[in-house]
């Protein structure tokens, strides 16, 4: 079973890389990619653990691009994880994440809610930070009852303490991944609010190499529609569970959502070194 979309504690996953590898091995995964948000920090530990479990490991990343002020997740695979251009780009992405956390805390302060952004940022030194960290602090301090409520009330797009992200468009993110020797895939297009977005950013192989067709939150119709889209546009296909941990949502896909072997072979034939 091939799962090319997995998160660790290097970003917003619950399991450290070695523990994630244990978990996915137990679920029957034989080829895996770790795709943390805007960091390759989990890859080294995951590679060593995968080797011990006899799992084929593909280096991965999930980079947040911005299109029309909305987040678009772009997956990368088979790149050189030590590529300097990629490292510089990811450093800037994580710096912007810290800026955003600080600004969200300022908005919360204006609403009378005090969150120590500097402490949260310090706790996550070397890893990428995101809104879930603020959500957890809001739950911990009793301001809301759940992560979901934290997003609904304060953190989601348009909510009371929402701060937009600034960042590169998908085209630029695709270029960074390709320049590092990798293949770029638009993550979970079935979750895009704007159905026209995919036409703009994935019209064909000039724009991006692949789209993610198989994903925990794609129903049967969506999967079929995206597969037809990829085939019509001459795009490659990726897929994975997007597992973040057993208590983190999107849990049902692990061991169930897989990239079919034939699609993986096409990717690997072109991009694996
Ligand atoms: P950020 O990277 O700071 O934009 O945060 C995005 C992350 O927040 C996503 O990867 C999800 O894990 C999480 N997230 C986004 N919206 C929600 C929501 N409504 N409820 C819970 N978690 C969410
Ligand atoms: Fe995530
Ligand atoms: Fe994503
Ligand atoms: Zn993901």
| Residue-level pLDDT at 38 | 96
> Please, which pLDDT band fits residue 140 given cuts at 50, 70 and 90?
very high
Q: Cβ distance 233 to 201 under 8 Å?
A: no
Ligand 1 neighbours, Cβ below 6 Å, are 12, 37, 130-132, 147-148, 151, 156
Whose Cα sits closest to atom 11 in ligand 1? 132
Residue 196 has pLDDT above 80, yes or no: yes
Most confident of 64-73, 221-230, 263-272: 221-230
pLDDT at 165 over 90: no
Q: The pTM is what?
A: 0.93
Residue 98 has pLDDT above 90, yes or no: yes
> 21-51 pLDDT, tens per residue?
999 999 999 999 999 999 999 999 999 999 9
**pLDDT over 90 percentage in the chain:** 91
Q: Which of 151, 152, 247 to mutate to test the pocket of ligand 1 (most atoms within 8 A of CB)?
A: 151
Assess whether pLDDT exceeds 80 at residue 105. Answer: yes
Residue 32: strand pairing partners: 3, 57
Which of the ligands is closest to the CA of residue 12? 2
Structure tokens at 187: 């993550």
Residue 53 Cα to ligand 2 midpoint, Å, equals 25
Q: How far is the CA of 271 from the centre of ligand 2 (A)?
A: 25
Whether 197 has a pLDDT exceeding 80, the answer reads yes
Closest CA to 217 of 177, 190, 182: 190
What is the number of the ligand closest to the CA of 130?
A: 1
3-state secondary structure the chain: CEECCECCCCCCCCCCHHHHHHHHHHCCCCEEEECCECCCCCHHHHHHHHHHHCCEEEEEEEEEEEECCEEEEEEEECCCCCCHHHHHHHHHHHHHHHHHHHHHHHHHHHCCCCCCHHHHHHHCCCCCCCHHHHHHHHHHCCCCCCHHHHHHHHHCCCCCCCCCCCCCCHHHHHHHHHHCCCEEEECCHHHCCCCCHHHHHCCCCCCCCEEEEEECCCCHHHHHHHHHHHHHHCCEEEEECCECCCCCCCCCCCCCCCCCHHHHHHHHHHHCC
Task: Using the atom order of ligand 1, give the atom closest to the CA of residue 128.
Answer: 2
Q: Which residue has the higher pLDDT, 273 or 207?
A: 207
The residue whose CA is least distant from atom 17 of ligand 1 is 151
Q: State the distance from the centre of ligand 1 to the C-alpha of 29, rounded, in angstroms.
A: 25
pLDDT at 251: 78
User: How confident is the model over 221-241, as pLDDT tens digits?
Assistant: 999 999 999 999 999 999 999
The mean pLDDT of 52-79, rounded to a whole number, is 96
pLDDT at 272 (0 to 100)? 80
Ligand 1 atom with the shortest distance to the CA of 244:
12
Q: What is the mean pLDDT of the chain?
A: 96
How confident is the model at residue 248, as a pLDDT?
77
Tell me which of 131, 137, 138 to substitute to probe ligand 1's pocket, judged by most ligand atoms within 8 Å of the beta carbon. 131
What's residue 115's pLDDT?
A: 96
Q: What is the mean pLDDT of residues 139-147?
A: 96
pLDDT tens-digit series, residues 202-224? 999 999 999 999 999 999 999 99
Residues facing residue 238 across a β-bridge: 212
User: What pLDDT is recorded for position 69?
Assistant: 84
> For the chain, which domains are there?
2-89+166-272 (3.20.20.140), 90-155 (1.10.150)
Q: What is the pLDDT of residue 120?
A: 96
């Amino acid at each position: 079973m091939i799962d090319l979309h997995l998160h660790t504690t290097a970003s917003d996953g619950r399991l450290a890389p070695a523990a994630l590898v244990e978990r996915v091995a137990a679920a029957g995964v034989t080829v895996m990619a770790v795709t943390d948000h805007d960091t390759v920090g989990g890859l080294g530990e995951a590679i060593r653990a995968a080797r011990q479990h006899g799992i084929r490991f593909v280096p991965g990343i999930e980079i947040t691009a911005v299109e029309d002020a909305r987040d678009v997740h772009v997956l990368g695979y088979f790149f050189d994880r030590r590529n300097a251009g990629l490292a510089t780009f990811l450093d800037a992405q994580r710096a912007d994440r810290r800026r955003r956390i600080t600004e969200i805390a300022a908005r919360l302060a204006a609403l009378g809610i005090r969150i120590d952004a500097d402490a949260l940022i310090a706790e996550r030194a070397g890893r990428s930070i995101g809104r879930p960290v603020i959500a957890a602090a809001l739950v911990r301090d009793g301001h809301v009852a759940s992560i979901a409520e934290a997003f609904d009330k304060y953190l989601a797009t348009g909510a009371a303490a929402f701060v937009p992200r600034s960042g590169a468009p998908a085209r630029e993110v695709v270029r960074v991944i390709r320049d590092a020797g990798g293949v770029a895939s638009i993550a979970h297009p079935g979750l895009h609010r704007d159905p026209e977005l995919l036409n703009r950013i994935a019209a064909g192989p000039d724009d991006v190499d692949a789209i993610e067709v198989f994903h925990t939150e794609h129903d049967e119709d969506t999967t079929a529609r995206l597969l037809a889209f990829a085939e019509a546009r001459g795009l490659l296909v990726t897929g994975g569970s997007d597992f973040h941990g057993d208590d983190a949502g999107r849990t049902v896909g692990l061991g169930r959502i897989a990239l079919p072997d034939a699609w993986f072979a096409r990717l690997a034939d072109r991009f694996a070194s």
